[in-house]
Amino acid sequence: MFSWAIFVLQVQLMDITEVLLATQSHDGQIRNVAEGNIKQFEEQSLPQFLQALSAELSNDNKPPVSRRLAGILLKNSLDANDLVRKEKCTQRWISVDPAIKSQVKGSLLMTLGSPVSDAHRSSSQVIAKIASIEIPLQGWPELIVSLLGNMTKPDASPSLKQATLDAIGYVCEEISPKDLEQDQVNAVLTAVVQGMNHVENSSGVRLAAVKALYNALDFAETNFQNESERNYIMKVVCETAISKEADIRKAAFECLVSIASTYYDLLEPYMQTLFELTANAARADEEQVALQAIEFWSTICDEEVAIQEDAEESGDVSPECHFHFIEKALPLLVPMLLETLLKQEEDQDEDDGIWNISMAGGTCLGLVATTVKDAIVPLVMPFIEGNITKPDWHSREAATFAFGSILEGPSVEKLAPLVHAGFDFLLNATKDQNNHVRETTAWALSRAFEFLHSPTSGVSVVTNANLPHVIEIMLTSIKDSPNVAEKICGALYFLAHGYENAGSMSSVLSLYFGQLVSALLATADRSDSNNSRLCASAYETLNEIVRCSSIADTLNMIVLLLQEILKRLNQTFEFQITSSEDKEKQSDLQALLCGVVQVILQKFSNCDDKSVIIQFADQIMVLFLRVFSCDCSNVHEEAMLAIGALAYATGPEFVKYMPEFHKYLEMGLQNFGAYQVCCVSVGVVADICRALDDKVLPYCDAIMSALLKDLSSPELHRSVKPPILSCIGDIALTIGEHFEKYVPYTVPMLQGAAELCSRMDLPDDDSTEYKNELRRSIFEAYSGILQGVKNSKSELMVPYASHIFQFAELVLRETSRDEGLTKAGVALVGDLADALGPSIKLLLKNSNFHSELLGRCSQSDDEQLRETASWVQGVISRVLVS
């Protein structure tokens, strides 16, 4: 208490402004001291810390910089990206003395009126963070009223209005629609719509208002259902979309995009107007606005495709909620999109990730094709034919882009004439004099191979007759400039992919296997590109070619390839590493090479002769263990996957690597941060159990302890937990009675997981799917344990029988489960009866649930389920008569 009082005194003596400014000092030492002081202040006396910062933020006599920093620190003390930390922040704020909280909130609300933009902007963000904690808990009920009250005061300054609208927008972004009462929503919308009105003279206010509306749209469900209110909102948004300020127009179109996805079924009366607005913007407005206008149509496509997919699933031929907006707009929409394709820039930026108008137009055209299918072809065909031979490269590129864009959606029959006429042309165009045209041509070829090359179904642009020519073009063009070569890699990928599972048909490619592999290895080595994607594409394509090749023809060449890849992997350890960039390059390359090794191992493990794998296993393991010692989470994942494949392929032989490998496996299992690595490691445990059988026993203590720790960790990503449970089932099955010592630790975990399922909130499909996955994995874990202990230690599980039985009953009585879950559940009931036999006779006798369930299952369409059910029936009958 004493030292704490001294500390508070110290901070009061310390000038907070100076400390804040010192965190920006050029002198590292001053910076460190200041940051240390601040951290200590926050940890040791949070209430005073919050008070001091909010006072700083609200004081117009303080420098803008320190006020902004105060705002950032406040925000960070309330929220964090990391979920665990975020929860900590929330609890900490809740426990602060209400008087202090109210003081902090008061000064934040006051700061909204500050003329200093750094200050009022920070303040609105902090207000939103507090709202996100309090409003869902019914706290701070007066917030919305005071915000709106400030704003509608007759003498409210533009900056106050703007800051208030910002705050409203951020608050809506943070909370969910169920947290606000309808009258609050009405008041928010009224204020926002007023702010958007053109009589409002300040453009800053209007912009803030449109942005706030964007965040408030989800809250406006009731208002959109009321026709007159909806008309009014739409009128104001449409008017705003032709404001004179481009950033306001852009924000208005963003609202329209969001409205298109949220309120699709209410749009009909406005479509004429919306078409005109978006068409004008796409044709003539600034790029940032035009992009949003096109996005509006892409969103409508997404909605209609989703409606069509749902309808197909449920067998509904003419779903009521489908308005066919795209079909109706088609004659005007398609020309508008084609026009955007001609807007390529002369000095194109080859840096990707830049989204621009021609890319957006092409993407939208592709979505339109997916939506309306055949109807698009006659509308685009004349454009392609008319422009693909024009002297101006822009025309040729646009025509090629249009061609590639519409290949997904329309039927093969409808596309056939276009493609027959176009395919040879396209192959020739890989020699066009213009680099952009060649790049788009290579991309269009990859689309043609992706959607129109399926030798097994007899439909393919590639025939045995033209294959030699196609390959020749590929081998030539892969030497073109890096941007073209990358697209050619993509084309080769889909060319090979077409022969997946094609049996002897894939032999047509075997003839070129060696040449293609050499070309790809050379491409991966190219030094004329700073773009690491080319190297990655080359290796990924190589993988696909190996995967889809006919092993009988290519075995020897794959062995040579493996040697080459191992040599390359070995060379990566010799790289000069002088910077973090070098390090990253090295580990990226290692990841790619480990990926190739994995694909090759999988290929070999599907063939009967494992001698090749055995021959290389030592060398592979030596290299992989070196990769692990490089300590990079990204590489671990790829190498882990490959080791799983190696274990699977080598079988019991793998045991000789365990003394070295197990420590990396355990590290992988404990890698909470890179949860994918953890997940892959869990998969490898299962592979190893299968490979080693009971030779895995010496490693089980460590593995089980890591897995149980994973299960109980709140930090580990939830998606890893079901695989862990299934993996425990695998271990139990593998080690049988030796699982005994883990039972007292494992069963309570499984019970806890089952309980978690019953308490789980299911706001969306993802959560439902996750819950089913979790329950299935619990079933699998129990099944593994029961089967494992069945022969000699079945009495271990008797105490848990009734709990397991009840859990299975609870789950299997529910309607929202999927097939996989049902199967696992039915199998578990069988395993229970099979393993525990007479000990659970009474349990089975006293329940009629199993006969009901098995009756239902025996009627199922699923043969496997019927078989399982009949086995279970047999087991139960035997128990009942015992």
The site for ligand NAG (CB under 6 A) is made up of: 106, 109-110, 112-113, 146, 149-150, 160, 199-201, 226, 228-229, 342-345, 348-349, 354, 356-359, 382-383, 386-387, 395, 424-425, 428, 436, 528-530, 566, 570, 619, 622-623
For ligand NAG, the closer of residues 12 and 225 by Cβ is 225
For ligand NAG, the closer of residues 303 and 588 by Cβ is 588
Alpha-carbon gap, residue 262 to 218, rounded angstroms? 7
Alpha-carbon gap, residue 653 to 639, rounded angstroms? 19
Q: How far is the CB of 348 from ligand NAG (least distance, A)?
A: 4
Q: How far is the CB of 549 from ligand NAG (least distance, A)?
A: 25
Q: How far is the CB of 56 from ligand NAG (least distance, A)?
A: 17
For ligand NAG, the closer of residues 527 and 846 by Cβ is 527
Q: How far is the CB of 443 from ligand NAG (least distance, A)?
A: 10
Q: How far is the CB of 71 from ligand NAG (least distance, A)?
A: 16
Alpha-carbon gap, residue 847 to 205, rounded angstroms? 68
For ligand NAG, the closer of residues 193 and 692 by Cβ is 193
For ligand NAG, the closer of residues 283 and 741 by Cβ is 283
For ligand NAG, the closer of residues 429 and 781 by Cβ is 429
Number of helices (H) and strands (E), helices first, in the chain? 42, 2
Alpha-carbon gap, residue 778 to 760, rounded angstroms? 15
Q: How far is the CB of 468 from ligand NAG (least distance, A)?
A: 15
Longest dimension (CA), the chain: 91
Whole-number CA gyration radius for the chain? 32
For ligand NAG, the closer of residues 90 and 162 by Cβ is 162
DSSP 673-727: SSHHHHHHHHHHHHHHHHHHGGGGHHHHHHHHHHHHHHHH-SSS-GGGHHHHHHH
Nearest residue to 637 via CA among 598, 580, 690, 693 = 598
For residue 408, what are its two tokens?
A: 């997904």
Alpha-carbon gap, residue 212 to 255, rounded angstroms? 10
Cβ atoms of 359 and 287 closer than 8 Å: no
Q: How far is the CB of 338 from ligand NAG (least distance, A)?
A: 7
Nearest residue to 325 via CA among 274, 361, 289, 290 = 274
Q: How far is the CB of 459 from ligand NAG (least distance, A)?
A: 21
Q: How far is the CB of 768 from ligand NAG (least distance, A)?
A: 33
For ligand NAG, the closer of residues 18 and 181 by Cβ is 181
Helix (H, G, I), strand (E, B) or coil at 267: coil
**553-559 — which CB contacts under 8 Å span 24+ positions?**
553/507, 553/510, 553/513, 554/510, 554/513, 555/607, 555/612, 557/513, 557/514, 557/517, 558/600, 558/603, 558/604, 559/612
Cβ atoms of 858 and 869 closer than 8 Å: yes
Q: How far is the CB of 331 from ligand NAG (least distance, A)?
A: 14
Burial class (CB in 10 A: 0-12, 13-18, 19+), 103: middle
Q: How far is the CB of 304 from ligand NAG (least distance, A)?
A: 26
For ligand NAG, the closer of residues 127 and 545 by Cβ is 127
DSSP 78-111: H--SSHHHHHHHHHHHHTS-HHHHHHHHHHHHHH
Q: How far is the CB of 472 from ligand NAG (least distance, A)?
A: 12
For ligand NAG, the closer of residues 590 and 822 by Cβ is 590
* Distance set, CA 658 to CA 307, 605, 661 (Å): 52, 20, 5
For ligand NAG, the closer of residues 256 and 399 by Cβ is 399
For ligand NAG, the closer of residues 147 and 591 by Cβ is 147
DSSP 8-state code for residue 460 = E
Q: Which amino acid is at 647?
A: A
Alpha-carbon gap, residue 600 to 517, rounded angstroms? 13
Alpha-carbon gap, residue 663 to 702, rounded angstroms? 9
Alpha-carbon gap, residue 573 to 577, rounded angstroms? 9
Q: Which amino acid is at 469?
A: H
For residue 573, what are its two tokens?
A: 């350890």
Cβ atoms of 151 and 165 closer than 8 Å: yes
Write the CB contacts of 842 (distance below 8 Å, at least 6 apart in sequence). none
For ligand NAG, the closer of residues 306 and 622 by Cβ is 622
Q: How far is the CB of 202 from ligand NAG (least distance, A)?
A: 8
Alpha-carbon gap, residue 340 to 328, rounded angstroms? 20
For ligand NAG, the closer of residues 112 and 217 by Cβ is 112
Q: How far is the CB of 563 from ligand NAG (least distance, A)?
A: 9
Alpha-carbon gap, residue 260 to 301, rounded angstroms? 10
Q: How far is the CB of 440 from ligand NAG (least distance, A)?
A: 7
For ligand NAG, the closer of residues 201 and 712 by Cβ is 201
Q: How far is the CB of 875 from ligand NAG (least distance, A)?
A: 51
DSSP 8-state code for residue 775 = H
Alpha-carbon gap, residue 875 to 828, rounded angstroms? 12
**E strands present in 377-495:** 453-454, 459-460
For ligand NAG, the closer of residues 275 and 383 by Cβ is 383
For ligand NAG, the closer of residues 330 and 502 by Cβ is 330
Q: How far is the CB of 127 from ligand NAG (least distance, A)?
A: 11
